[in-house]
Amino acid sequence: MNDAIQEQPERRLEQREISVMVGHQEAWSGPLPPPEILARFDQAVPGSAGRIITMAESQQQHRIEVERSVAVQETQIKRDGLNFAYRLAVIGLLGAVATALVTQNPYAVGIIVGGGLITLVTRFIPRGKKKED
C-alpha cells in the first residue's frame, strides 16, 4: 500500500484569483436632473440647485423665442413669395392683353400666358418644406 501511495502523482491545488469590477452610472434626459441628484448638487455646492433650475428656465425661454422667430420668418417668406407671384401674374396678363391688342394673334397670347407666366408664378409659390433624408 505504501508503494501505491508513492506511485500516484502529486495533486496540486490550484489557486485562482477572481476579480470583479462593479460600476454604477446614472443618466437622465431633459434639462433638469432628478430631485435626488439635484439635492446632491446643492449639498456639494450650496445654491447650485437654484442656479441649475434658473439655467433650465432661461434655456427654455430662449428656445421658445427662437421657434417663434423662425415661424414669423417662414410666414414672411411665404407671404413675399405669394406677393411676388401675384405681381408677376398681373404683369404677365397685362403683357398678354397688350400683345393681343397689338398683334391680334391668339397664339402669342397663349404662349405668354401658358408658357412663361405659369412657370414663373409656380416657381414663387411656396409648397412647404421638402422632406430631408
Average pLDDT, the chain: 81
Q: Is the pTM of this model over 0.85?
A: no
Q: Could you tell me the maximum CA-CA distance found in the chain, to the nearest angstrom?
A: 135
DSSP state of 30: S
Count of residues for the chain? Answer: 133
Q: What is the predicted pLDDT for the residue at 125?
A: 67
133 pLDDT above the threshold of 50: no
Q: Distance between CA 124 and CA 133 in Å, rounded?
A: 24
Question: Residue 78 in contact with residue 126, Cβ under 8 Å?
Answer: yes
Q: Lowest-pLDDT range, 34-38, 57-61, 106-110?
A: 106-110
Q: What is the predicted pLDDT for the residue at 85?
A: 77
- All three cell numbers of 104: 391680334
34 or 26: which leads in pLDDT: 34
- All three cell numbers of 83: 406677393
Q: Residue 49 — pLDDT band, cuts 50, 70, 90?
A: very high
Q: What is the predicted pLDDT for the residue at 107?
A: 81
Using a pLDDT cut of 70, give the percent of the chain over it.
81
80 pLDDT above the threshold of 70: yes
